Structure 1
Amino acid sequence: MTKGRPLTGGEKEILHRALDRHRDAVLWKIEGLDDERLRRPMTPSGTNLLGLVKHLAGAELGWFCEAFGRETGPLPFDLDADEESDLRVEPHESTADVVAFYARARAAADRTIAELDLDAVGTAWFGDAVSLRFVLVHMATETARHAGHMDVLRELADGATGDHRRG
């Protein structure tokens, strides 16, 4: 888990540490819950905690790997067939599978971040050029957005609140 906030350092380090802080919050939001609570739809659209983890894993692979021509490995969904498939955890997918997918995506993204300059240019899924700088900012905000959703879902599941473990 990431320690502290990025208060000093270079731009890339600060952006990466900000992303890591939100990634860690995502994992903390699912910690200690059983499979039923992680999969329970908590909104009319069916949003659940584990589905958001799966979605964020796919987003990391799409933005950090596909956009920069890097291997993603197998994906447990097919967005071409169903654009919502990355948000659903299928019955055959275990919690451990989804958490491992997120860890794999995070590691692949971290390799891209380590190996490329902030000004490196890739191509987004919709065809526009994107810099690594943009992708880092986008994924930090996307992860923070969904961590916020997870704050609410976790509170509804068992009353736990907060964005990180208190000392």
Structure 2
Amino acid sequence: MTQTTDPGITGMPYAGGEKETLHASLNRVREAVLWKLEGLDDEQLRRPMTPSGTSLLGLVKHLASVEYGWFVESFGREVEPLWFDPYKGEDMSAADGETTEQIVAFYGRARAAADRTITELPLDAVGRPRWRDHAVTLRWVLVDLIEETARHAGHMDVVRELIDGGTGDHRPG
């Protein structure tokens, strides 16, 4: 079967294999996350927009932490030292002294580390998250992180709309 892609949507492989399709789907929602940050200043990115304190930059920091945990740590790979405690919710907001550039770069490194795991391991590879009492496959983690990232990209869509009226699930054109 000939593989076709749509370069307008992060090269989505409409006739690709399972791993390629799952990875492309994850990349699509990852790109939506980054797109939600574009054109805003530091104050807007940090601004808590819900009673629980949800901000665009906090969601990016959280997603980076989650990618490191599930894709990297669970499969026994090296995770960079964290300067915050995600188990105390410190990954949900940008703290004083943390820059936008620092958090976006952290997300980029987490994505790159996760991508190495996805590329190097088969879908049925088994990981053992230390915070769970059961093993998981890379396939399960891919599906879970697509769901997690899409959920938070949706939150980001609402937050962005509240800040400046911007909406949409991916970059136009």
| TM-score interval for Structure 1 and Structure 2 normalised by the shorter chain | over 0.9
| Identity across the alignment (%) | 66
* Other-structure match for 1:25: 32
**Over aligned residues, Cα RMSD in angstroms?**
1.3
Which runs of at least 4 in structure 1 moved beyond 3 Å after TM superposition?
Answer: none
Residue 123 (structure 2) aligned to one of 118, 126, 129: 118
- The structure 2 residue matched to 1:37, chosen from 44, 47, 55, is 44
Determine which of 34, 46, 61 is the counterpart of 2:68: 61
- CA distance in 1 between counterparts of 2:64 and 2:137 reads 20
1:77 paired with 2:81, answer no
Give the CA deviation at 1:127: 2.6
Are the counterparts in 2 of residues 54 and 87 from structure 1 also a CA contact under 8 Å? yes
| Match runs of 1:11-22 below 5 Å | 11-22=18-29
Deviation at 1:76, TM superposition (A): 2.8
How far off is 1:74 after superposition?
Answer: 1.5
Residues of 1 paired with 2:10 and 2:132: CA distance? Answer: 35
Pick aligned residue for 1:147 from 153, 160, 164: 153
**Structure 1: where are the runs of 5+ without partners?**
none
Q: Aligned with 2:136: secondary structure?
A: strand
8 A contact 2:160–2:167 mirrored in 1: yes
2:102 to 89, 97, 116: 97
| SS of equivalent residue, structure 2 residue 127 | strand
Aligned to 1:46: 53
